[in-house]
Chains A and B, each alone.
Chain A
C-alpha cells in the first residue's frame, strides 16, 4: 500500500528552527509537495521537490532524498504565525496526490 508518515505534533520556540520530517512509500514518485494549513483554513502551497537536494524559499526550505524516500521541511526564525499543520503529499506513478495526515506545529513564546 501507499504510506506517508509524519510526526503528529511538534513544539518549538519563537525564533528557533524546526525540522518536520516526512517519509513515504508509494507506487512511483513524481514529486513531493509541502502545504501549510492553519486551523479552520484551507491548505496553501509551500513547496514542490522532484529532484534530490535542498530548495530554499525565504525562511522555509524543503529537502528531498528519493533514494531514502524522505523529505523534510525546515522552518527558520519561527514566528507565532507559523503555528499550523504542515502536510506532506507525494505524487505517485498515476500522478495522484497521496497525502500525509499532517504535523501540527505549536510555537511557544
Chain B
C-alpha cells in the first residue's frame, strides 16, 4: 500500500564510501524529486525528474548522481561520501507537472544518512 517508499531507512557509513538510496512510487506519478533536509530542517531540492528526464538539477556536488530507470523509480547514488552529507534524504513524487500546473508532492519516509 506504500505510496512512496525508500530504502534503506537508515544508512551509517564511513567517509569516502559510495552508497545508493532507492526510491519507488506506485502512484502512477510522472515527476519525482530528491530533497535533502539538514539539521536545521530546511528542505532543499536536489533533483527533479519528469518521465525519466532530468528537469531540475540544483547546485549539488557532482558526487551525487540520480538515476531513473523508469518513471516509477528514482535512485540516488553518492560517491566519496563526506561528513557534510549527513542528513535526511527524502524522495517525493507528484502527478505530471507542466508549466501552469501546481501539483501536491507526496513524500517518502526518508533515509537517515550518517557519515562517520
Listed in ascending order, the chain A residues whose CB lies under 8 Å from chain B are: 30-31, 33, 40-45, 48, 50, 85, 87, 89, 91, 95-97, 99, 101-102
Contact = CB atoms under 8 A, between A and B. Distances in A.
A87 B105 CA distance: 13
B102 A48 contact: yes
Contact of B45 (A43, A87, A96): A96
Interface in B63-116: 90, 97, 99-102, 104-110
Contacts of B107: 42-44
Contacts of A97: 45, 105
Given A41-B110, A42-B90, A42-B110, A99 B104 contact: no
Contacts of B4: 42
B102 A30 contact: yes
20 contacts: A30-B102, A31-B102, A40-B110, A41-B109, A42-B90, A42-B108, A44-B107, A45-B104, A48-B102, A89-B43, A91-B102, A95-B99, A95-B100, A95-B101, A95-B102, A97-B45, A99-B43, A99-B44, A101-B41, A102-B41
Interface of B: 4, 40-45, 56, 90, 97, 99-102, 104-110
Given A41-B109, A42-B109, A87 B104 contact: no
A101 B105 contact: no
A8 to B, nearest CB: 9
A97 B44 CA distance: 9
A33 B104 contact: yes
Given A41-B109, A44-B107, A96 B56 contact: yes
A60 to B, nearest CB: 15
A95 B97 contact: yes
The 4 closest A-B CB pairs, nearest first, are A42-B107, A99-B43, A45-B104, A31-B102
